[in-house]
């Protein structure tokens, strides 16, 4: 019986490991192979990593692509712009999502499932359609400008499309559920007796929130910020549709290098460098989460 349980546990653990090997490690190795290749005018447009000559296997790797990323200001600016936009969007998303998650966690059980369904509901429609909808809302002849002009608040349309403001709105709207759900999971488990004890000791609502609710919800905040920040760094659709044409984000750079310039080795090096940059906060988060669980 014990052997059956052990084999079952190994099987359960093996499934996600196989999934990661097939859909993460294998593509990563392919992209890494291309990133250390040399640019060629051929099909495919890069040199092979492994060659067989005179009965010997030769490995030819070029690190000039990574050196080029450090020397060219274009890619550094693209990384910096992507990080800045992703960080601001994540912060704004947290400001909007925290009160919503707190309200859902403190709502009655009869309403809780309905509210959660409303949060997840946008995921049931196409991501592209949801972004396109904001064009009709933020454009000069859109819903907001027409409503404000009808009220007499403004005399001419406010330029919102093709601005960084539109990019922030699109990212916050698109990734808001990814911030709300981990926050709700953490806040829903919060022991209400701690707040009652804090009130009995004379602490006000703000003091109780800062000393009890906020610290205990940090795991949900970190998880939500990572879930929003990581995809926002490589976002391409939202800046392309809503942002200014000169917005230089790494997703646009990857598209141009792969499909316009056909510089596959450079584009692969850009993707690998971005991936390594994103792995660092994930590892720090996992380490902090492990230390928190050990402290409990």
Q: What is the pLDDT of residues 86-113, one digit of tens each?
A: 999 999 999 999 999 999 998 888 888 8
Residue 56 reports pLDDT greater than 90: no
Cα 264 from Cα 242, distance rounded (Å) = 27
Average pLDDT over residues 108-126: 87
Q: What is the pLDDT of residues 149-164, one digit of tens each?
A: 998 888 888 899 989 9
Decide: residue 65, CB within 10 A, 0-12 exposed, 13-18 middle, 19+ buried: buried
Structure-block tokens of residue 94: 């947290």
Beta strand pairing status for 50-53 and 56-59?
antiparallel
Note the pLDDT of residue 288: 65
* Average pLDDT of the residues in 52-79: 82
| Residue 7, pLDDT score | 60
Phi, psi of 193 (to 5 degrees): -65, -25
Q: What is the pLDDT of residue 23?
A: 79
pLDDT at 281: 67
Q: CA 276, CA 263: separation in Å to the nearest integer? A: 20
DSSP 8-class letter at 243: S
Please check the confidence at residue 285 and state whether its pLDDT lies above 70.
Answer: no
pLDDT at residue 173 tops 80: yes
- pTM assigned to the model: 0.84
Is the CB of residue 47 less than 8 Å from the CB of residue 40?
yes
């Amino acid at each position: 019986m014990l052997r059956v349980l052990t084999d079952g546990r190994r099987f359960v653990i093996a499934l996600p490991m196989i999934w990661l090997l097939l859909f993460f490690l294998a593509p990563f190795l392919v992209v890494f192979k291309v990133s250390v290749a040399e640019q060629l005018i051929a099909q495919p447009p890069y040199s092979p990593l492994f060659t067989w000559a005179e009965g010997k296997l030769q490995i030819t790797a070029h690190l000039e692509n990574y050196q080029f990323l450090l020397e060219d200001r274009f890619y550094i600016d693209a990384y910096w712009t992507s990080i800045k936009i992703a960080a601001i969007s994540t912060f704004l998303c947290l400001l909007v999502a925290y009160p919503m998650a707190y309200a859902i966690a403190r709502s009655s059980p009869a309403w809780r499932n309905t509210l959660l369904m409303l949060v997840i509901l946008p995921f049931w429609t196409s991501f592209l359609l949801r972004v396109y909808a904001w064009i009709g809302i933020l454009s000069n002849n859109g819903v907001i400008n027409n409503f404000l002009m009808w009220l007499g608040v403004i005399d001419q349309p406010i330029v919102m499309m093709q601005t960084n403001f539109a990019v922030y709105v699109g990212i916050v709207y698109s990734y808001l559920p990814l911030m709300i759900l981990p926050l709700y999971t953490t806040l829903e488990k919060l022991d209400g007796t701690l707040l009652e004890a804090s009130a009995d000791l004379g602490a006000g609502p703000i003091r109780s929130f800062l000393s009890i609710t906020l610290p205990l919800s940090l795991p949900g905040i970190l998880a939500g910020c990572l879930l929003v920040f990581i995809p926002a760094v490589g976002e391409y659709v939202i800046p392309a549709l809503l942002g200014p044409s000169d917005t230089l984000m790494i997703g646009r750079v990857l598209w141009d290098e792969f499909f316009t310039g056909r510089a596959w080795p450079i584009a692969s090096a850009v993707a690998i460098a971005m991936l390594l940059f994103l792995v660092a906060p994930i590892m720090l988060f996992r380490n902090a989460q492990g230390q928190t669980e050990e402290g409990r």
